[in-house]
Amino acid sequence: MKKTPLYERHLALGAKVIDFGGWAMPVQYTNVIEEHRTTRRNAGIFDICHMGEIEIQGEDAFSLLQHVMSRNLEKQSAGQMKLSLLLNEKGGIIDDLTVYKTAENNYMVVTNAVTKDRDLAWITKVREEKGYARVNLRDITDITGKIDLQGPLAASILEQITADDPGSLGFYSFSRTRVLGNPAIVSRSGYTGEDGFEIYVPADKVGEVWDALLEQGRGRGLKPVGLGARDTLRLEAGMMLYGNEMNENVTPFEVVYGWITDLDKEFIGRDCLLRQKEKGLERKLVGFEMEDRGIARHGYSVTGNDGKKIGEVTSGTFSPTLNRPIGLAFVPFSFREPGTEIRIDIRGNQARARVAKLPFYKRDRH
Amino acid sequence: MSKPSPDDRRYSREHEWAKDNGDGTITMGITDYAQEMLTDVVFVELPETGKKVKQMQVVAVVESVKSVSDVYSPVSGEVTEVNRILEERPEIVNQDAFGEGWLCRIRMDDPKELDSLMSSSRYEEFIKDLKH
């Protein structure tokens, strides 16, 4: 297994480590519910070094990205990030990723850990086929450290060690700044539904940044948070996970990514998506809440009243905030409205559940 | 560190404990090591009373946020009582696995089955090996 530069620190903090897509990652330090609540109440710090970063630079950078990305990047200004999708010709999702525009024709694309090599190969292939000669792709994952700092206290903790005030950043904006004197990218974004930041620093400096953040947060309730709570946090916030809700056989409209699919521009996968839109969808990803007891987990069947399989749970967990089991599932399109009753086969029991509005959790904005 | 395993009961390789009540029944639960591995238990599925089980058959299910775990019956017999309070407060399994967090009582078909289970000292050795 690959180790992040923070691996030894996780062991020293008593983390339970698991294999996540070939990376040895902390799944929890104490327990999932406690780490989840810490993030909602105070702040949590996450090792996200396993995610991929690809630098895309050169005169053809914009043209290449505009052709491979579902999102129209035309109006993106330097200092803005955009959530986008990489699609195959059939409109299937290769990855969901964020595109940071640092300057004209100068981008950093942040990918999921398990999809990074596939993304890089795909974009490289398109570059060759389309003859975009004046653009370089560089995998900077190994030299880039990434920490997420999430929660209501994130801004006030981070500002202690940054050159610029992170609190003045707009949502989905970023600055190229310094953290502990090191060159850094700091964006106001995350994967928890809380206010917070994604922090990129050189890999050999990420340890000292981690230590400094924990030091600044001492006495204010900041705690390290593992992948277990990262999953419950994102699920409550109605955010999807690649590999669970998405793969290359799933299109953006079937999940909740229609809003980042701009059919008014040309991109790979568009033709198939136009046809799908015209024909109508057969299935749709929805949120659900359990009415009966038990947790519906990834892979469990959604059934009709006659017990026949009509869909599948993609993610399911216990929501620490709502104090009840929640999840995401594919259901027939006619079952998509909130309030619709569904059943989920939990170890042979047809447990009752109800389609719920997403997100399950929304923070108060002051 | 998990709590020491009491020496007044027997242990299975699947991390269940069985305590002989002296009246032909046992009380059973999962060990402290098991609850520590599971962490944050959020749901316990208990059997119906009257259910007949064979030794090492699934008798209950314990779910944490991250995982689902089957609980095996340490003996063959009939379930006579279940710890209903766990349906409302599953976290008791974490807090007191050897005590208040018991799962059910079973009337044994054959008390000799207890001999096939481990003593507390052997179980302690067993989990020590698992940790390495």
Say whether B65 and A27 touch across the interface (CB within 8 A). no
User: In terms of residue numbers, what domain contains B86?
Assistant: 10-110
pLDDT, residue A365, reads 72
Say whether B87 and A293 touch across the interface (CB within 8 A). yes
pLDDT, residue A304, reads 86
Domain A258-356 listed as CATH 3.30.990.10:
no
- Are residues B3 and B32 in contact, defined by beta-carbon separation less than 8 angstroms? yes
Could you tell me if residue B55 is inside a domain? yes
Could you tell me if residue B106 is inside a domain? yes
The per-residue pLDDT string of chain A (366 residues; one tens digit each, 9 = 90 and over) reads 999 999 999 999 999 999 999 999 999 999 999 999 999 999 999 999 999 999 999 999 999 999 999 999 999 999 999 999 999 999 999 999 999 999 999 999 999 999 999 999 999 999 999 999 999 999 999 999 999 999 999 999 999 999 999 999 999 999 999 999 999 999 999 999 999 999 999 999 999 999 999 999 999 999 999 999 999 999 999 999 999 999 999 999 999 999 999 999 999 999 999 999 999 999 999 999 999 989 999 999 999 888 899 999 999 999 999 999 999 999 999 999 999 999 999 999 999 999 999 999 999 875
| Residue B69, H or E segment | strand B68-72
Query: What is the chain B residue with the closest CA to A36?
Result: B65
- Whichever domain contains B14, its CATH number is 2.40.50.100
- Chain A residues lying within 8 Å of B64, measured CB to CB: 32
Could you tell me if residue B39 is inside a domain? yes
Q: What is the spatial distance between Cα A68 and Cα A126, in angstroms, rounded to a whole number?
A: 8
User: CATH for A52-139, among 3.30.70.1400, 3.30.410.10, 3.40.30.10, 3.40.50.300?
Assistant: 3.30.70.1400
Could you tell me if residue B22 is inside a domain? yes
Work out how many domains chain B is built from and give that number: 1
Domain A2-48+143-234 listed as CATH 3.30.1360.120:
yes
Say whether A295 and B45 touch across the interface (CB within 8 A). no
Sign of the torsion formed by the C-alpha atoms of A143, A28, A192 and A318: positive
Q: With a threshold of 0.85, tell me whether the complex ipTM lies above it.
A: no
| Domain positions in chain A | 2-48+143-234, 52-139, 258-356
Could you tell me if residue B132 is inside a domain? no
Separation in Å, CA of A35 to nearest CA in chain B? 11
pLDDT tens digits, one per residue of B48-97: 999 999 999 999 999 999 889 999 999 999 999 999 999 999 999 999 99
Query: What is the chain B residue with the closest CA to A294?
Result: B43
Say whether B40 and A33 touch across the interface (CB within 8 A). yes
Separation in Å, CA of A91 to nearest CA in chain B? 32
Sign of the torsion formed by the C-alpha atoms of A111, A114, A119 and A121: positive
Could you tell me if residue B46 is inside a domain? yes
Residues in contact with A238: Cβ distance below 8 Å, sequence separation at least 6, in sequence order: A193, A256, A287, A358, A359, A360, A361
Could you tell me if residue B49 is inside a domain? yes
pLDDT, residue B3, reads 87
Q: Cis peptide leading into B6, omega within 30 of 0?
A: no
Could you tell me if residue B122 is inside a domain? no
Say whether A294 and B43 touch across the interface (CB within 8 A). yes
